[in-house]
Amino acid sequence: MFRRNGKVESHKLHGIPSGIFHPDVLSVIAGTTVMNPIRLAREVKDLRSKGVQVESSNLLISPDTQLIMPWHEVRDGEREEKRGRETGVKIETTKRGIGDTYSDHALREGFRMEDLLKSNEEFERKLDLQLRDQERYMKDASRRTNVNRVIIS
């Protein structure tokens, strides 16, 4: 809940800490969390459209924050479907790739926030490696998917 134009309004947050509604609070997204950069950008835009200040002065994102990439969502969905076929019981994930991203985090693989700040050449090199790994994973899983550069663009 926050106050705008003298009225109290509610807003559901998904990735940004609730301290963002308090001007004197520094909100931090820690390196122990995972974050979807596209969803985060949408959430920042939405908050700003409602008059909430979201700037580097009140929101810090750790360079170690693991990024949820499109292939994490695909893998999450694939696992859920496979689990349902093989056991008849799904765990009802959100299919947002959170668990798969934490797996990459534990394995020290995937993208972190700091990777978005690297040179284009470094980022491209890492992206190409990641896409090759994901294609191998999908082949091993006997399923093809549209994990490709178009999703990233």
pLDDT tens digits, residue range 37-47?
Answer: 999 999 999 99
List where CATH 1.10.300.10 sits in the chain: 68-152
Domain over 68-152 is classified CATH 1.10.300.10: yes
Q: Minimal CA–CA distance to 47: which of 36, 60, 31, 59?
A: 59
Is a pLDDT exceeding 80 seen at residue 112?
A: yes
Q: Which residues lie below 8 Å from residue 79, measured CB to CB, with a gap of 6+?
A: 93, 100
Cα 34 to Cα 74, 97, 110, 151: the distances in Å are 16, 10, 11, 19
Work out the mean pLDDT of the chain and round it to a whole number.
Answer: 86
In this prediction the pTM is 0.79
Report residue 2's pLDDT band, with 50, 70 and 90 as the boundaries: low
What pLDDT was estimated at residue 3? 66
pLDDT at position 143 over 60: no
pLDDT for position 5 = 67
